[in-house]
Structure 1
Amino acid sequence: MISGPWCSSAVGSLVQFHLNLQNCLKAHLRKVVKNKQKFDARSPLTPVDRESPIALDADFHKQLEAWKENSFWVDQPPEIKVSVPKGSLCNLNVNFKVGLPPDAIYNIVTDPENKRVFKNIKEVISRKVLIDEGLRQVVEVEQAAIWRFLWWSGTISVHVIVDQNRKDHTVKFKQGKSGFMKRFEGCWKVEPLFVDEHLCQPFKPKTWDNYNTCTQGKGRVGSIVSLDQLIQPSLVPPPPISWYLRGITTRTTEMLISDLLAEAARLRDAVSGSGAEARKELETDERENAPNSSYTPDDIKKRWQQRRDRRHKNRRCLPVH
């Protein structure tokens, strides 16, 4: 048995070491909990709730309720920048705002039947799901697209591989089969827009949870949509043909954006109560696109067929803007 001053000193050191270790662990635990709470703050800007079907659905419906209370929105002209990288026909960079939540815009862009929205899509020739991971799908698409410029018009076949991810609301596409195009690629990106953040002044909300709190649940969430697209033919034609082709590309993009804004206006009217069938369609699309265990990759063709049947039935009674 060890005794004496050395023993007392040793015991005191052990007690102090234990207390220091305990305090260190408590501080570390508080830091972990604080970071987890910060990361879990429900917001379209954070990835955690994108992985939860319940949170995803709850957020979307809360955002729709805010638009139901106040559906006022004025579309602004898109910002379109055209550059000509060396060896390419053009690079288009487009930015615009839409008066609907990101999930609603994502649904429109990724809808297999969106030719009813985008008038430049004449026909979807084929569509094959290569990967289905719930929030993310990789799809091979071939479609006939219509182009118009001045008094000219025509049809072009487009074959692309589309990587669409609801987690960050991105839709990346690139050329599939090679043809007269050497490179055809780009990316859609949809980010949240806090439409009523002026209600939070002098504070600036950083998360959806902060925004929802300071607006007392009445703050609307819109979308900031960007499209970056590069077009590079196998052989770049000389002027003035290249000028006409750039004009065709720009005009086609403007038509696409106009169609998207028109569809958003139709759905916004539906949310506000003037179009019950369109509202039902919007909510059904969200349920089917959300990650849900009742839907498997084998069900996706069935979902598309059900969607086609439903929209064919509703088309006669839906207002078209």
Structure 2
Amino acid sequence: MGVFTRFGGSINQNVQQPLKAESKIPRENVNSSSVSEEDSNIQEPWYWDPDVDPKLKAEYKKHSHVRSMPLYVTDPKYYDLAELKRQVTLWIPNNNKHPWYDAPATVKVKIKKGVCHLKIEFTLGWPPHGVYEMLTNPRNMNFFSLFDREFRQRLDNESTKVLKKDGPRQITDVKKTLRWKVLGCTIAIPIHLVIDENHQNLTAKYKKKNMSCMKVFEGSWKIKPLYADQERLCKSRSRINDEEYKKCSGGKGRIGSKVTMEQIFQPCTLLNVPPVSWFIRKITIRTIKNLLEDLRQYIINIHKSRAGPIFKYT
């Protein structure tokens, strides 16, 4: 069982916490005292690495911080976990001498009847399930830039509660805090969302549940595999799938991620009046770009690291 404890730790150390509210699906029995106050928002069952020995699992629950546990943000039932771990090793700089460049995200803005529509596209040199982890980030892994001396990120997750679980589909209630600065002052904005996730096709739709400054705030994302070495290692230039790519590349082909996002927002009625609405729109768009740039820089740091992710085997 591999636990990624550094840059690659985002794959194993994060967690989704399905709460079967009014569901017939049974829940695991877990002693709540094994969870620290800091992690009291975590609820079972977690998506553990299926290869973890039950005794070791019990020890983790008693003595370890959640970030160090072999946990996953997406349910391993719906993808090949061994292949994901193998792909992570291919992105380690020492294992591949062919550099990969991820350009900044392209953001197209369209305003119609006071509603701002953003269409966003970007690529990341990291496996799709790892990128999905970064976008959901329920356990505050350090994907985003540190914002102040208290080591708080630009975007923090405060709580995650799964409302419904139906196969690969999962509906989560998420509370986050977004931080930005105006005239040298730090402002913390609470964001309360309901996210409809699909762990099999790596898509998500979200909608505000409570955001005092926004009348409309919703969007979606989807992640598709990007066959980074297809042109170099495979004769075929047409669309292929994971199995064909692995075969034609001799197992050496890296799979990155192509992300498409949609974001729609509109300030609340009292704030949707120029020039206040212009200011809110500008700040919102700039903040979204900054968050995406944080993720891009996180991956760039992985690619620059000489050692890449560190592996522990237990």
TM-score after normalising by structure 2: 0.64
Q: For the residues of structure 1 that align with 2:88 and 2:141, how far apart are their CA atoms?
A: 24
Corresponding residue number in structure 2 for 1:216: 250
Q: Using a 3 Å threshold, how does the CA distance of structure 1 residues 182 and 96 change in structure 2: closer, same or farther?
A: same
8 A Cα contact 2:205 2:221, kept in partner: yes
8 A Cα contact 1:190 1:225, kept in partner: yes
In the TM superposition, what is the alpha-carbon distance from 1:243 to its structure 2 partner? Answer: 2.2
Corresponding residue number in structure 1 for 2:91: 67
Corresponding residue number in structure 2 for 1:248: 283
In the TM superposition, what is the alpha-carbon distance from 1:148 to its structure 2 partner? Answer: 3.8
Q: For the residues of structure 2 that align with 1:110 and 1:136, how far apart are their CA atoms?
A: 14
Corresponding residue number in structure 2 for 1:238: 273
In the TM superposition, what is the alpha-carbon distance from 1:216 to its structure 2 partner? Answer: 1.1
Q: Using a 3 Å threshold, how does the CA distance of structure 1 residues 123 and 178 change in structure 2: closer, same or farther?
A: closer
In the TM superposition, what is the alpha-carbon distance from 1:170 to its structure 2 partner? Answer: 1.3
Q: Using a 3 Å threshold, how does the CA distance of structure 1 residues 203 and 91 change in structure 2: closer, same or farther?
A: closer
Which residues of structure 1 form unaligned runs of 5+?
1-49, 285-321
* Aligned residue identity for 2:108: K
Question: Cα RMSD between the aligned structures?
Answer: 2.9
Q: For the residues of structure 2 that align with 1:131 and 1:268, how far apart are their CA atoms?
A: 37
Q: Which protein is richer in helix relative to its size? A: 1
Aligned-partner SS, 2:91: helix
2:241 pairs, out of 185, 204, 207, with: 207
Pairing 1:117–2:104 present = no
Corresponding residue number in structure 2 for 1:226: 260
8 A Cα contact 1:148 1:252, kept in partner: no
8 A Cα contact 1:115 1:121, kept in partner: no
Aligned-partner SS, 1:112: coil
2:104 pairs, out of 59, 65, 77, with: 77
8 A Cα contact 2:168 2:200, kept in partner: yes
Which residues of structure 2 form unaligned runs of 5+?
1-73, 146-152
Q: For the residues of structure 2 that align with 1:55 and 1:268, how far apart are their CA atoms?
A: 24
Aligned-partner SS, 1:84: strand
Corresponding residue number in structure 1 for 2:203: 170
In the TM superposition, what is the alpha-carbon distance from 1:189 to its structure 2 partner? Answer: 1.4
1:105 pairs, out of 131, 150, 164, with: 131
Q: For the residues of structure 2 that align with 1:152 and 1:242, how far apart are their CA atoms?
A: 20
Give CA-to-partner distance per residue, 1:189-233, whole Å, 9 cap, x none. 111101111122354242111111111111111101122111122
TM-score after normalising by structure 1: 0.63
Q: For the residues of structure 2 that align with 1:163 and 1:226, how far apart are their CA atoms?
A: 16
Corresponding residue number in structure 1 for 2:118: 92
1:136 pairs, out of 165, 169, 191, with: 169
Q: Which protein is richer in strand relative to its size? A: 2
Q: Detail structure 1 runs of 4+ shifted over 6 Å in the superposition.
A: none
Percentage identity across aligned positions?
A: 34
* Aligned residue identity for 1:221: I
Pairing 1:186–2:219 present = yes
Aligned-partner SS, 1:176: strand
Aligned-partner SS, 2:253: coil
Corresponding residue number in structure 1 for 2:35: none
Give CA-to-partner distance per residue, 1:269-307, whole Å, 9 cap, x none. 67x73441xx55xx99xxxxxxxxxxxxxxxxxxxxxxx
Q: For the residues of structure 2 that align with 1:102 and 1:51, how far apart are their CA atoms?
A: 14
Corresponding residue number in structure 2 for 1:197: 230
Instruction: Determine which structure has more spread, i.e. the larger CA radius of gyration.
Output: 1
In the TM superposition, what is the alpha-carbon distance from 1:168 to its structure 2 partner? Answer: 1.1
In the TM superposition, what is the alpha-carbon distance from 1:178 to its structure 2 partner? Answer: 5.9
Aligned-partner SS, 1:144: strand
8 A Cα contact 1:173 1:186, kept in partner: yes
Q: Using a 3 Å threshold, how does the CA distance of structure 1 residues 153 and 218 change in structure 2: closer, same or farther?
A: same
